[in-house]
Amino acid sequence: MSHTFSLWAPAATAVDLLLGADPQRAERVPMTATTGGWWEAAADPAPHDGRYAFSLDGGTALPDPRSRHQPDGVHAPSRLVDTGAFGWRDAGPDAGPWQGVPMERAAVYELHVGTFTTEGTFDAAVQRLAHLADLGVTVVEVMPVAAFPGAHGWGYDGVAPYAVHEPYGGPEAFARFVDAAHGHGLAVWLDVVHNHLGPSGNYLGQVGPYFTDRHHTPWGEAVNLDGPGSDEVRSYLLDNVAMWLEDYHLDGLRLDAVHELHDERATHLLEEMAALADEIAARTGIPRSLVAESDRNDPATVTARARGGAGGLGLHGQWADDVHHALHVLLTGEDQGYYADFADPRAATTVLGHSPFFHDGTYSTFRGRVHGRAVDLEVTPPWRYVASLQTHDQVGNRATGDRIHHGISPGRHAIGAALLLTAAWTPMLFMGEEWGASTPWQYFTDHEEEWLAESIRQGRQAEFAAHGWGGTVPDPQDAGTVAASTLDWTEPGRSGHAGMLAFYRDLLRWRRDTPVQRRDGAADVLRGPDGTGGEVLAVTRPGVALLARLGGGPDPADGFALPMPEGEVLASYGQVRIEAGGRQTSGTARLGPDSVVVLVADVGEGSPAR
C-alpha cells in the first residue's frame, strides 16, 4: 500500500527517500519539492518492513525527524507506525469510558521505566500498576521515553522526540501501558524534553534550522523558536504535544526546564501549547494537563491566559522545588550548595503555610540576586503547584544517588511524608519512596563514544565538588550502576518497609477521596523547641491537622505532650499516644522523638470550592 512520506528540509536542493533497513542497499526514490521547504514522495514501505530514511543532496542516510519508531537505534533508519491501529480499551472491567483526572485531583507518582522493574520494560511495569492504584496515587508520571543512544539512560538525552525508546518495548508497548493504567483508574503524564536534544544521534540540525545561536542553553545552542524558519520548528513541537495527547491517549505532559525555551515572540510557545492542550481536552472531554518545570518561581506560568495577552501562559501546573528544598533542610539539616537559602527558619513555615515559593521576590544567596514573585492563591489555586519530598533530580543528582530517607530515621521520613501529603500543593512521589526503598537512584548512561562518557564522568565530579557534595561518584557507564538503581519489589512486604507503605497509603487514600475544598487553603504553622534538643511542629489547615516532633532528647516514658485539635486520627508513625477516649477526640498527643500524628475533621459549608 502506498504511503506519502514527507520531510521539511528547506535548504536542500535534492532529497531522496531511502527504503530499507540497510541504507547502502536501499531503494532510492527521488522526492518532489512542494511549498515552504517541504518534500514529498509516495512509495510502498511494506516490502521493506516499513523502514526508511532520507538523503539530502546525496549525503548520508538520516532518520526521520518525526520518526515514531527507531527499532535499530537512533543512528539507523526509521520505521513507520500506525498509532491508529492500537487496540485501545481505556476502561476497567466495571468502569465506563476513561474520564481522566483533573489537575486538582492529581497525586503524582514519578517513575523511570528502565529501573522501575528488573525487566525495565512497559509490559513489566503494567504488572505493578495495581500497587499504584491501591496506594492511592491518581497520576503516573513517566520519565522521558523519547529514543536515545544505547539501552540505559535517564531519557534527557533523547534525540528522536516522536519515537518511543525500543529497549522499553517501543510504541505498541507504551500504548499498552497507558491503556492498562487507565483501566486501573490512573492517569498517565509523560516527561518530555523540548528545550534540547542529546549530543549523540542529534541529526535535526542537518535537516533544517531547528537550532539557533541567537540563544544558548546549558546544553549548547537553543531550539529555534523565534528566528528565521522557526514557524516550522514551533509546529514540530506543537505537533509533538498533539501526538502524545491524542495518538497515545496521554492525560498530560511534564515539560522539562521551560526556562530554557527561549522565545521572544509576542505569543510564547508555552502559551500555544497550553491552548492546544485545552482544545484537545474540550474536544475529547478528558482533562489534559501541561505541567512545567521552571526555576523562575513565577506564578504567571500557571496564570490563565487572557484575551489581549494580559494574562499568563495558561499552563496547568508547575513544579515548586522550593517546597522540596525547605523540607529537605528541615528533615536532614543539610545546608550546603543551594540548600543554604533554605536554612532560614522561615523557609519551612512559608512553604507549609501559604506559598509554594520561599523565594517570592526575596534575595537568594545561591543566585546572588532577588528571585521569584509572590503567589496569590485566589488567582492560582494551590493544586497548580507540584511539590515533592524526592524527585529523580533531587535523588539522582546527589553524588551516590542516596534518597532522603537513607540519611534520616524512618520516623523523620514519615514526618516528611505527612507534611507533603497533607499540604495544599499537588504531591508527587518518586518511585519506591512509599516503602522507604533501600535502593539508591544514580545517574547512568550508555554512550558509545568514550570521549562523551569521560566528559560526563569529569563534569559530574566537578559539579559535586563545587556544591560541597563529596563522595565517590558511581561510573554512569557501568551496568552495575543501573542494577543498583533498580527497585527491589520484595521490599514492600518486608518488616521495616510495610509500615511506611501503610502510612503513605492511608494519607494518599484520604487525599484521593477528600474533595479539594476540604484539604485546601493556607495553614497555620507553629514551630518551636521541645526543651530537650528537638523541635515540635503543628500544621493546621481546613480539614486536617498534623502534630510532629523532630528529634528530642531523653523524655518521660509517655512522650512529649502536645495539645491536639479536635478530629479523627487518620494516621500516625512512631511513638504516639492519644490522651482521650476513642478515635474522635480532642485532648493531648504524647509524641516520642521523630513521631507524627495526622488528624482529619469535617469542614463547614463555608469552605470555598475550587
End-to-end CA distance of the chain: 52
Q: Which residue has the cell 478515635?
A: 583
Burial of 335 (0-12, 13-18, 19+ CB in 10 A): middle
If one counts every other C-beta atom within 10 angstroms of the C-beta of residue 413, the result is 25
Contact 146, 163 (CB under 8 A): yes
Supply 146's cell numbers.
523519547
Burial of 14 (0-12, 13-18, 19+ CB in 10 A): middle
According to DSSP, residue 473 is labeled P
Dihedral sign for Cα atoms in the order 4, 8, 14, 20:
negative
Question: How far is Cα 110 from Cα 429, in angstroms, rounded to an integer?
Answer: 6
For residue 384, the SS3 value is helix
| Encoded amino acid at 498, one letter | A
Dmax over CA atoms of the chain, in Å, equals 86
Residues in the chain: 610
Question: How far is Cα 472 from Cα 499, in angstroms, rounded to an integer?
Answer: 32
Give catalytic residue positions: 256, 293
Helices (H), 260-409: 269-284, 321-332, 345-353, 392-396
Closest Cα partner for 337 from 398, 259, 408, 400? 398
Give the CA-trace dihedral at 336, 480, 110, 431, to 10 degrees: -90
Apex 532 CA angle, 528 and 538, nearest 5: 30
CB under 8 Å to 371, separation ≥6 — which residues? 297, 359, 361, 362, 363, 364
Question: How far is Cα 278 from Cα 309, in angstroms, rounded to an integer?
Answer: 17
Q: On the CB side of 194, how many CA atoms lie within 13 Å of its CA? A: 28
| DSSP percent split of the chain into helix, strand, coil, nearest 5 | 30, 25, 45
Question: How far is Cα 222 from Cα 210, in angstroms, rounded to an integer?
Answer: 9
